[in-house]
Chains A and B, each alone.
Chain A
Amino acid sequence: MLRFVLRRLLATIPVLLVVAVVVFLMLRLTPGDPAAVIAGDSATTEQIEQIREALGLNRPLVVQFGLWAGSVLRGDLGESFFFKMPVAQLIAQRLEPTVALAVSTTLLAVLIAVPLGVLAAWRRGGWFDRVLMGFSTIGFSVPVFVLGYVLIWLVSLKLGWLPVQGYRRIAEGFGPFIRHLILPTLTLSVIYIALIARVTRAAVSEALTEDYVRTARAKGLPETAVLTRHALANAAVPIVTVIGIGVALLIGGVVVTESVYAIPGLGRLTVDAVLARDFPTIQGVILFFSAVYVLINLLVDLSYVLLDPRIRY
Chain B
Amino acid sequence: MSRRWAVLACVCVALLAWALPARSETVLRVAPHSNLVVLDPIWTTAYITRNHGYMIYDTLFGTDAQGKVRPQMVDEWEVSRDRKVWTFRLREGLQFHDGTPVTGRDVIASLERWGKRDTMGIKLMSFVERIEAMDARTFRLRLREPYGLVLESLGKPSSNVPFIMPERVARTSPDRQIDDTTGSGPFVFKRDAWRPGERVVYLRNPKYVPRRDAPSGTAGAKIPKVDRVEWMIIKDPQTQANALIAGEIDLIEAPAHELYAQLRRDPGVQLVETNPLGFQAGLRFNHVQPPFDNVRIRRAAMAALNQLSFLRAQVGVPEMYRTCFSVYPCGSPFATQAGMDFIVRPDMKRAQQLLRESGYDGTPIVIMQPTDLAVIAKLPVVAAQLLRTAGFKVDLQAMDWQTLVARRAKKDPPSRGGWSIFCTIFAAVDMANPVVNQPVAAACDKSWFGWPCDESLEKLRDAFARTDDPAEQKRLAEAVQVRAMEIGTYVPLGEYVIPVAARKNVQGLVTGYFLVLWNVEKR
Interface residue from B39, B195, B406, B430 paired with A36 (Cβ < 8 Å) = B406
**Which residues of B (13-63) have their CB < 8 Å from a CB of A?**
35, 37-39, 43-47, 49
Number of A-B contacts (CB under 8 A): 133
Asked whether A40 and B49 contact (CB < 8 A) given A31-B403, A82-B196, A83-B197, the answer is yes
Interface residue from A47, A94, A261 paired with B239 (Cβ < 8 Å) = A261
B119 at the interface (CB under 8 A from A): yes
Output the least CB separation between B123 and chain A (Å).
Answer: 13
Output the least CB separation between B174 and chain A (Å).
Answer: 8
* Pair A54/B45 contact, Cβ less than 8 Å: no
* Pair B37/A31 contact, Cβ less than 8 Å: no
A198 at the interface (CB under 8 A from B): no
Interface residue from A37, A39, A163 paired with B248 (Cβ < 8 Å) = A163
* Pair B44/A40 contact, Cβ less than 8 Å: yes
A228 at the interface (CB under 8 A from B): no
Q: Which of B1-9, B216-224, B228-236 faces chain A?
A: B228-236
Output the least CB separation between A260 and chain B (Å).
Answer: 6
* Pair B236/A45 contact, Cβ less than 8 Å: no
A290 at the interface (CB under 8 A from B): no
Output the least CB separation between B236 and chain A (Å).
Answer: 5
CA distance A210 to B198 in the complex (A): 53
* Pair A31/B196 contact, Cβ less than 8 Å: no
* Pair A42/B238 contact, Cβ less than 8 Å: no
* Pair A83/B403 contact, Cβ less than 8 Å: no
* Pair A84/B177 contact, Cβ less than 8 Å: yes
* Pair B409/A45 contact, Cβ less than 8 Å: yes
* Pair B242/A36 contact, Cβ less than 8 Å: no
Q: Which of A18-26, A58-66, A262-270 faces chain B?
A: A262-270
Interface core residue of B35, B44, B438 (most chain A CB under 10 Å): B44
CA distance A163 to B446 in the complex (A): 50
B424 at the interface (CB under 8 A from A): yes
* Pair B195/A264 contact, Cβ less than 8 Å: yes
Q: Which of A101-109, A149-157, A237-245, A291-299 faces chain B?
A: A149-157
B407 at the interface (CB under 8 A from A): yes
Contacts of A308 in B (CB 8 A): none
* Pair A259/B236 contact, Cβ less than 8 Å: yes
B246 at the interface (CB under 8 A from A): yes
Interface core residue of A39, A54, A163, A164 (most chain B CB under 10 Å): A164
Does more than half of chain B's interface fall in helix, strand or loop, or is it mixed? Answer: loop
* Pair B38/A38 contact, Cβ less than 8 Å: yes
* Pair B45/A41 contact, Cβ less than 8 Å: yes
Interface residue from A47, A48, A264 paired with B117 (Cβ < 8 Å) = A47
CA distance A157 to B44 in the complex (A): 39
Contacts of B245 in A (CB 8 A): 157, 164
- Chain B residue, CB-CB nearest to A42: B45
* Pair A36/B402 contact, Cβ less than 8 Å: yes
* Pair B232/A269 contact, Cβ less than 8 Å: no
Contacts of A93 in B (CB 8 A): 195
- Chain B residue, CB-CB nearest to A166: B248
Output the least CB separation between A277 and chain B (Å).
Answer: 6
* Pair A40/B234 contact, Cβ less than 8 Å: no
Contacts of A269 in B (CB 8 A): 197
Interface core residue of A94, A152, A160, A262 (most chain B CB under 10 Å): A262
**Which residues of A (69-126) have their CB < 8 Å from a CB of B?**
82-85, 93-94
B496 at the interface (CB under 8 A from A): no
* Pair B409/A262 contact, Cβ less than 8 Å: no
Interface core residue of B39, B45, B197, B238 (most chain A CB under 10 Å): B197
Interface residue from B47, B243, B403, B449 paired with A164 (Cβ < 8 Å) = B243
Asked whether A33 and B409 contact (CB < 8 A) given A42-B159, A165-B242, A272-B197, the answer is yes
Contacts of B176 in A (CB 8 A): 54
* Pair B197/A260 contact, Cβ less than 8 Å: no
Among all A-B residue pairs, the 8 with the closest Cβ atoms: A40-B45, A33-B406, A264-B198, A40-B46, A82-B37, A42-B45, A83-B196, A31-B403
Q: A31-B403, A94-B197 are in contact. List 20 more A-B contacts (CB 8 A).
A: A31-B417, A36-B406, A36-B409, A40-B46, A40-B159, A42-B45, A43-B44, A54-B176, A84-B39, A153-B242, A156-B242, A165-B239, A165-B243, A166-B243, A166-B248, A259-B236, A260-B238, A262-B232, A268-B235, A272-B197
